[in-house]
A and B are shown apart, each in its own frame.
Chain A
Amino acid sequence: MFWWLWLIIAVVALIIILLIYYFNKIVVLSNRIDNAFSQINVQLKKRNDLIPNLVATVKGYAKHEKGIFEELAKARAEMTKAGSLDAKFKASDMLSNALKSIFAIAENYPILKANENFKELQQELSDIESKIAYTRQFFNDSILFYNNTVTTFPGTIFAGIFGKQKKDYLQITQAERQNVKVEF
């Protein structure tokens, strides 16, 4: 056998192994992003499902606070019909704010505040808010890993071959991080 033939075979084998390795790596990393995204959706849906309960409970004590119920209903409807990621998070932020105001209003109603059901809902919703924040964090972490792989050498070459591009982070604003924990 000619030595250069072996060399060519070795180089071709190496390229094929690298191609498979990077293809799998990129697929695994982008699957992780999809998984993170569906985790966000699970939490958003859980929160949406709790809102009718909350409204029913609060209405029993604070019927005349109409403005806030409307705001909540609107945000919830937006949330349900939102298709794109951006629209979803806009609606989600709206909903978070509406919830914040409803809990602020509850401060004025001692009997409501003492209601067992209300306290449970408040705790549950506050827990879901922090879960949403954590799922978004994991989503961004997954994007960070993915982007690091497709933008650094040699991953960038293979990403180019497979037509994979850098993905955008979700914006997490300072204000949002602060209202992760609903204070009460």
Chain B
Amino acid sequence: MNYKEYAEKYKKISFYDQIRNNKLKSWLLLIIIVVVIIGLMFVISQVYDPTMVFTFLILGIIISLIYVFIGYYFSDKIALFTVNAHEATDKKYNHLNNMVEGLALAGGLPKPKVYIMPSQEINAFATGRTPEKGVVCVTEGCLTKLTDKELEGVLAHELTHIRNYDIRFVTLAIILVGLIAIISEIFLRSLWFSSGNGREGKNPMFLIIGIALAILAPIIANLVQLAISRKREYMADAGAVQLIRDNSGLISALKKIGNYYETNNKTVANKTLASMFIANPFSGKSITNLFSTHPPLSERIKILESM
């Protein structure tokens, strides 16, 4: 098959459209989160005096700026530190580094750094805000339990996360979700302390709305963030196939990962990191629901097989 036929074939599936479309939808989801924050602020200001809102806003802005700054600039280092990863500079990792470089060349990306997690489970994640700062991190288990072809599928999946700026986007989404949780918490706690003094004459309806929002907003934001996370996984699977021009490696890698976590549940990941991995180490069962970070492996395999 020459390249023209490849091009025709891939035009039909139209990865480029799919990726563009998904990017658009993800931005939409992010806008929803921002609207929720603004709504929350508005309702809070209706419940309290304007002067009090002012202090809260300034305090909130300072805390959230520090929070966003740390989350945005140190998320990669924090993640690598948490899983105790080391850089794959040893000679025995030459082949792995070459594979990553090859895939980076295929995607027109700078070669990301490669890190190793000392764990026998089969999993991988990518981090770094921009492709220039990209890091791909795989477990020792990936190297011993997967064939070259399967490992290539996993690496291509991670590289697609880097190329699509998924990491930046998902990091921002996680940060915003955290912010909403903090704002709600502050609001609910402040109600507790200030109850009874000088709230006569305020609209009680806003108070009820405020409490309801403060309870619901973090949950809704969390669900939106998880939906973004699941969508990104499908996109990264599609992108991996586009890079390698073959789906068999990733399919059989996902099957192996699924089998592994059915019988083992030890993992280096914690709950926050789970959403970054190629497969969620905590979801042994393959049912999807609103609270999953990843779509079920069986569903991903089915879609991959149709490509």
A: which residues have CB within 8 A of B? 32, 35-36, 39, 43, 120, 123-124, 127-128, 130-131, 134-135, 137-138, 140-142, 144, 169-174, 177, 181
Contacts and interface: CB of A to CB of B under 8 A. Distances in A.
A142 B102 CA distance: 16
A82 to B, nearest CB: 21
Contacts of A130: 98-99, 102
DSSP class of A's interface residues: helix, strand, loop or mixed?
helix
B107 interface: yes
Contacts of A35: 108
B241 to A, nearest CB: 13
A140 B3 contact: yes
Nearest to A174: B1
Contacts of B4: 169
A147 B2 CA distance: 16
Contact of A127 (B2, B3, B7, B95): B95
> 4 smallest A-B Cβ distances: which pairs?
A127-B98, A134-B106, A131-B102, A169-B3
Contacts of A137: 106, 245
Nearest to B152: A130
B105 interface: yes
A45 to B, nearest CB: 14
A133 B106 CA distance: 8
Contacts of B1: 174, 177
25 contacts: A32-B108, A36-B108, A123-B95, A124-B94, A127-B94, A127-B98, A127-B99, A127-B102, A130-B98, A130-B102, A131-B98, A131-B102, A134-B103, A134-B105, A135-B105, A135-B106, A137-B245, A138-B105, A138-B106, A144-B3, A144-B7, A170-B3, A171-B2, A177-B1, A181-B148
Contacts of B3: 140, 144, 169-172
A120 B94 CA distance: 9
Contacts of A171: 2-3
Contacts of B7: 140, 144, 169
B96 to A, nearest CB: 10
B151 to A, nearest CB: 13
B140 interface: no
Contacts of A123: 94-95
A57 to B, nearest CB: 17
Contacts of A134: 102-103, 105-106
Interface of B: 1-4, 6-7, 94-95, 98-99, 101-103, 105-108, 148, 245
Nearest to B96: A127
Among the interface residues B7, B94, B102, B107, which one has the most CB atoms of the partner chain A within 10 A?
B102
Given A32-B108, A43-B105, A131-B101, 13 more contacts: A35-B108, A39-B105, A120-B94, A123-B95, A127-B98, A130-B99, A130-B102, A131-B102, A131-B105, A134-B102, A137-B106, A138-B107, A174-B1
B105 A142 contact: no
A138 to B, nearest CB: 5
A166 to B, nearest CB: 12
A124 B105 contact: no
Nearest to B4: A169
A147 to B, nearest CB: 9
A140 B94 CA distance: 27
Nearest to A145: B16
A147 B1 CA distance: 19
Contacts of B99: 127, 130
Contacts of B108: 32, 35-36, 138, 141-142
Among the interface residues B1, B102, B105, B245, which one has the most CB atoms of the partner chain A within 10 A?
B105
Contacts of A169: 2-4, 7
Contacts of A135: 105-106
Contacts of B6: 140, 172
Nearest to B108: A138
B2 A172 contact: yes
A31 to B, nearest CB: 11
Nearest to B104: A134
Nearest to B109: A138
Nearest to B242: A141
